[in-house]
Amino acid sequence: MLDVTNTVSIGDARAVADAAERILARCFGAGSVDRELLHASFDLVARVFAGEHPGYLACDMPYHDLRHSLDTALVMARLIDGCQREPGGPAVALTAEHGLLGVLLGLLHDTGFIRTTAESALCGPQLMAQHEFRSVEFAGRYLRATALAAHAPLATLILATRLGAHLDELFAGLDDRAVALGEMLGTADLVSQMSDRCYPERCCYHLYPELKLGGRDRVRAADGQVQLLYLDGLDLLRKTPGFCEHVLGGRLARDLQGRVRHLAAHHGGADPYAEAIRRNLDRIDRMVAEARFDLLQDEPATTTRNLAAIYRARPPGTAPCN
């Protein structure tokens, strides 16, 4: 499970923590970032997703898994660094504390999918509608017990990852640094998904079943009739390019103020994330145009173990999974 640069294992919490530490040290100076808090936070989230934290059950979802949270934290670190390296100087000067806070919010942004021991009758996707608010609660509670306690109220920035969120309302009254972090957090969540080297497979094999279990594969019309949005994982793939272009593209460019540009600044020119997203969407376009869903690769790896049978179902017309 390597990131788009083939340098960081996004399935390994320690590897991503080390990478984030290097990026923040380069950005803000050696010794400027609370290294102990950074690594303790990554260790905590790894335990939470593994079901090793008191009061919580293990993650039972293959798409919104630990891999995605780690990847989002890594993208967040790179966005923060790129923000400070913008040509002509940064429009918003972040402190080392803000840099660390941003990475931790990326790391914690999907903790709301993790069930408590009192919620064993539920599955994670059934928490989809409220998971961002639950993540805010988890992150705020955690941050209040750390050296970043003064910034704990900014856990609400996690709501920037909610596609239906009105960002003007969310950011009202916040200073420029907090707003920039919120915009980067919403950007990191989307970019980490769309750039994943297995994005088509993760959508088909993993995201669709999560949407189905969470009731997000259908809508109820005004007349009470239920309309299916996605018939199966392949139908989700057919509609993914349009969704990325008309919904996510506008979100990144307009609502999130084009913060995605910071990735090119971080990498010193060409943006490997933009290239990975282009490859993924081109591959999906070819599958759809030629009805070649046998081009889908095997079911991708996930950091979640003991998946329910619904995640093992293979859509018709796809190649067998190993």
Can you tell me the distance from the alpha carbon of 257 to that of 142, in angstroms, rounded to the nearest whole number?
Answer: 29
Can you tell me the distance from the alpha carbon of 322 to that of 320, in angstroms, rounded to the nearest whole number?
Answer: 7
Can you tell me the distance from the alpha carbon of 270 to that of 135, in angstroms, rounded to the nearest whole number?
Answer: 33
Can you tell me the distance from the alpha carbon of 140 to that of 151, in angstroms, rounded to the nearest whole number?
Answer: 9
pLDDT of residue 221: 87
* Contact predicate 224/321, CB 8 Å: no
Which pTM does this prediction carry?
Answer: 0.96
pLDDT of residue 23: 98
pLDDT under 50: residue ranges of the chain: 320-322
C-alpha closest to that of 153 among 164, 144, 163: 144
Amino acid at 258: G
Can you tell me the distance from the alpha carbon of 117 to that of 134, in angstroms, rounded to the nearest whole number?
Answer: 15
All residues at 6 or more sequence positions from 42 whose CB lies less than 8 Å from its CB, including other chains: 13, 14, 16, 17, 20, 70, 73, 107
Class of domain 13-312 as given by CATH:
mainly alpha
DSSP letter for each residue of 46-79: HHHHHT-STTBPPP--SSSSHHHHHHHHHHHHHH
Indicate the length of the chain as a whole number. Answer: 322
C-alpha closest to that of 56 among 67, 68, 71, 46: 46
pLDDT of residue 147: 98
Q: Coil, helix or strand for 43?
A: helix
Domain ranges of the chain: 13-312
